Amino acid sequence: MVEWYMFAVIGIGGGLLAGLFGIGGGIILIPALVVWAGFPQHLAVGTSLAVLLPPIGLGAALEYYRHGNVNVTAAIILALTMFLGSWLGAYVANKLPEAYLRPVFGVFVFAVGIYFVYGSIRKLGWL
């Protein structure tokens, strides 16, 4: 079982990156929940949507919840800690010149893409 503090670390990190780069659940929370918390993909997606519930995810999160694919405790902890992390990320991002922020974001997105492509190829047995 994943301890509550792991969700807090994921939430703060996700909030930090969301504040820095303006990105959210799909590229931060879902990979973190799958890799670090050991969530299956559906549970990670449902929980991520529950975190984003107020602004965009109510309908989708309810459907995932109906199928048992939302960890409510994780979603609450992640939402609270992402609030703190996103504030910190936004603070740091506003201190960085765009000339630094843009390439760092590009490297981050590229690295996430390579990670998922490589992992998928390995799961398919192509490597």
* Digit-coded pLDDT (tens) for 23-39: 766 788 888 898 899 99
Number of domains observed in the structure of the chain: 2
Assess whether 106 and 82 both reside in one domain.
no
Q: What single letter denotes the amino acid at residue 32? A: A
Assess whether 27 and 42 both reside in one domain.
yes
**Over pLDDT 90: what percentage of the chain?**
31
Assess whether 49 and 107 both reside in one domain.
no
Assess whether 21 and 83 both reside in one domain.
yes
Query: Residue 55 has what pLDDT?
Result: 59
Assess whether 82 and 101 both reside in one domain.
no
Assess whether 72 and 101 both reside in one domain.
no
Which tokens belong to 89?
A: 């990320």
**Interatomic CA distance for residues 69 and 27, integer angstroms:** 18
Assess whether 124 and 102 both reside in one domain.
yes
Query: Residue 57 has what pLDDT?
Result: 63
Higher pLDDT, residue 17 or 70: 70
Assess whether 104 and 90 both reside in one domain.
no
**Interatomic CA distance for residues 50 and 57, integer angstroms:** 6
Domain carrying residue 13? 4-95
Assess whether 71 and 111 both reside in one domain.
no
Query: Residue 71 has what pLDDT?
Result: 95
